[in-house]
């Protein structure tokens, strides 16, 4: 029987890993550009441990937290064994590897990803413009991140007009599974994920205020 909860709940934290101790500064740079706030940095022999919060109001609370640390040796050894078995990057690589990556390239939401909601479209656009620039020219991040976008399903003239004029979403032709919201995806190999230690997708979302339905409340296939 399901428990009927009456207490307030929130998602407390997510713990993520960067691949090696040498990746710590690049991962730290990425988190800063994403707008996360660093509240603690603890130097360790295995690589720096970081505590971030997604917004200032979470600074001293127990929710809205992202813990970032180097991949532990046992987990790294596991990833290495899996990759060796699948022959990652070799001519006879297992076909499932390419198939999964192709699916993720078509749909950034295909596998595990981390979604963050912001209440400012202007801020989301500024964040993504900064990340686009970093992907091209930042010595720590060049070649380590890629960005992509979804617009909402079309039909609302105000939403469509705002996005047509957007420096980020103006040329986007791929659509989200719903209306009245946008999605910006940052794929990176600086944070690892899944059974093979592949990269992670971080999703930044915005939904139009007071919309009766939006991309995060009702899934639509248009």
3-state class (DSSP) for residue 10? coil
Residue 192 lies in a domain: yes
CATH at 31: 3.10.180.10
- CB–CB of 151/179 below 8 Å? no
For residue 3, being part of any structural domain is answered with no
Both tokens assigned to 67: 């813990």
Same domain, 113 and 167: yes
DSSP three-state, residue 21: helix
Same domain assignment for residues 129 and 84: no
Residue 143 lies in a domain: yes
Residues 203 and 152 in one domain: yes
| Range of the structural domain that residue 101 is part of | 77-106
Q: Where are the alpha helices (DSSP H) in the chain?
A: 24-33, 73-86, 95-106, 121-137, 157-164
Claim to verify: residue 100 and residue 173 sit in the same structural domain: no
Same domain, 17 and 31: yes
Q: What does the alpha-carbon distance between residue 197 and residue 172 come to, in Å, rounded to a whole number?
A: 30
User: Based on the domain organization, do 220 and 150 belong to the same domain?
Assistant: yes
CA–CA gap between residue 19 and residue 70 (Å, rounded)? 6
Of 92, 100, 98, 44, the closest CA to residue 67 belongs to 44
Mind listing the pLDDT tens digit of every residue in the chain (222 residues)? 777 778 889 999 999 999 999 999 999 999 999 999 999 999 999 999 999 999 988 999 999 999 999 999 999 999 999 999 999 999 999 999 999 999 998 999 999 999 999 999 999 999 999 999 999 999 999 999 999 999 999 999 999 999 999 999 999 999 999 999 999 999 999 999 888 898 999 999 999 998 889 999 988 886
If one counts the domains in the chain, the total is 3
Q: Are residues 182 and 124 in the same domain?
A: yes
Tell me: do 127 and 144 sit in the same domain: yes
For residue 24 the two structure tokens come to 């710590």
Domain co-membership, 116 together with 180 = yes
Query: Are both 61 and 131 inside the same structural domain?
Result: no
3-state class (DSSP) for residue 160: helix
How far is residue 170's CA from residue 178's CA, in Å, rounded to a whole number?
18
């Amino acid at each position: 029987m399901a428990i009927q909860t009456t207490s307030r709940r929130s998602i407390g934290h997510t713990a993520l890993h960067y691949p090696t101790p040498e990746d710590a500064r690049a991962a730290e740079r990425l988190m800063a550009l994403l707008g996360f706030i660093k509240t603690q940095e603890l130097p360790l022999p295995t690589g720096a441990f970081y505590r971030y919060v997604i917004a200032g109001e979470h600074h001293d609370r127990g929710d809205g937290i992202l813990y970032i640390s180097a991949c532990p040796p046992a987990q790294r050894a596991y990833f290495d064994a899996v990759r060796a078995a699948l022959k990652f990057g070799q001519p006879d690589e297992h076909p499932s590897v390419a198939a999964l990556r192709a699916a993720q390239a078509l749909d950034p939401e295909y596998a595990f990803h981390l979604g963050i909601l912001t209440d400012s479209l202007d801020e989301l656009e500024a964040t993504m413009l900064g990340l686009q620039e970093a992907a091209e020219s930042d010595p720590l991040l060049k070649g380590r991140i890629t960005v992509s976008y979804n617009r909402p399903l079309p039909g609302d003239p105000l939403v469509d007009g705002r996005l047509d004029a957007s420096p980020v979403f103006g040329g986007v032709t791929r659509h989200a599974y719903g209306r009245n919201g946008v999605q910006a995806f940052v794929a990176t190999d600086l944070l690892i994920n899944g059974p093979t230690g592949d990269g992670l997708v971080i999703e930044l979302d915005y939904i139009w205020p007071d919309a009766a339905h939006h991309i995060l409340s009702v899934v639509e296939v248009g």
